[in-house]
Amino acid sequence: MKKTGYILFVLIALVFTIAHAFENSLISTISKTIPLIILIFLVPRKSIYNKLIILGFVFSLAGDVLLMETVDKFIYGLVAFLIAHVFYILAFLKKDNKAELLSSIPFYIYGVVFFWFLRTSLGEMAIPVAVYMLIITTMLWRSFVQRNVGTAEKWALWGAVLFTLSDSMIAISKFYEPFYLASTFIMLTYWGGQFLIYWSTLYKNEN
């Protein structure tokens, strides 16, 4: 079952990439949501951590739909992904809830510098983007804090890194300047990040 799911995950991601490159909106729209749906069904329902990750996937899926060109509800998509990151934060706190405030400094510096870079292009979206960046930066930080608990936690960290990279590229493309193959890089890092977070649910976990 898992092997079939992984093959479908890769194939559908490839279909989306090709369809998007050839500007086939029907196929790209249909295929965009399928990889995450596959992951939702593959996550073992064995722990609170896994269930929190599933909820993160569900809200990420809602965000995918809301950000589609055919739907184009950016602010609602932003809220859906924000909620997804809150569930990821809660999941990572289940692994390691130590404060480790000093370790947060580099992550929040990144968030502040990145927001400062975009600030003149944000307009009325400045506050929503600032709130979102605060949450995703916290998600990335908490993934870093829990990284040494075990092998699974290291996969979750790299998944969070790719997810943050994907969102950073979305912000640059939307608010600063679109770049070549932006959508392809955004989706590949996004799916890669979600898959690595999914991979962290496969290890024995009592939390």
3-state secondary structure 8-44: HHHHHHHHHHHHHHCCCHHHHHHHHCHHHHHHHHHCC
**Predicted confidence (pLDDT) at residue 23 exceeds the cutoff of 90:** no
Q: What percent of the chain has pLDDT over 90?
A: 86
At residue 21, what are phi and psi to the nearest 5 degrees? Answer: -65, -35
Is residue 180 scored above 90 in pLDDT?
no
In the block, residue with structure tokens 């990145």: 114
Number of domain units in the chain: 1
Give the CA radius of gyration of the chain.
17
Q: What's the rounded Cα separation, in Å, for the pair 191 and 202? A: 17
- Where residue 172 falls among pLDDT bands split at 50, 70, 90? very high
Q: What is the DSSP letter of 129?
A: H
What local confidence, expressed as pLDDT, does residue 46 receive? 87
Per-residue confidence (pLDDT) for residue 85, from 0 to 100:
98
Looking at the chain, how many residues does it have? 207
Residue 59 maps to a domain: yes
Q: What are the residue ranges of helices labelled H in 45-104?
A: 48-66, 74-95
Q: What pLDDT is attached to residue 207?
A: 62
Do 10 and 162 contact (CB within 8 A), yes or no?
A: no
- Tell me what pLDDT residue 206 has: 56
**pLDDT given at position 20:** 85
Is the distance from CB of 86 to CB of 41 less than 8 angstroms?
Answer: no
CA 169 to chain centre: 12
Which of these, 49, 21, 132, lies nearest to 85 by C-alpha position?
Answer: 132
Q: Which residues contact 51 (CB under 8 A, 6 or more apart)?
A: 45
In a domain, 32, yes or no: yes
Buried b or exposed e, range 46-83, using 16+ CB within 10 angstroms: ebebbbbbbbbbbbbbbbbbbbbeeeeeeeebbbbbbb
User: Does the pLDDT value for residue 205 go beyond 80?
Assistant: no
> Do the domain assignments include residue 77?
yes
Average pLDDT over residues 54-58: 98
Mean pLDDT of the chain: 95
* 69 domain-assigned: yes
User: Left if phi > 0, otherwise alpha if psi is -120 to 50, otherwise beta: which for 178?
Assistant: beta
Q: Which residues span the domain enclosing 33?
A: 2-199
Residue 204 is assigned to a structural domain of this protein: no
Q: What is the pTM of this model?
A: 0.95
pLDDT over threshold 90, residue 21:
no
pLDDT > 70 in the chain, percent: 99
Q: Residue 190 domain-assigned?
A: yes
Q: Confirm whether 132 is domain-assigned.
A: yes
| 205, part of any domain | no
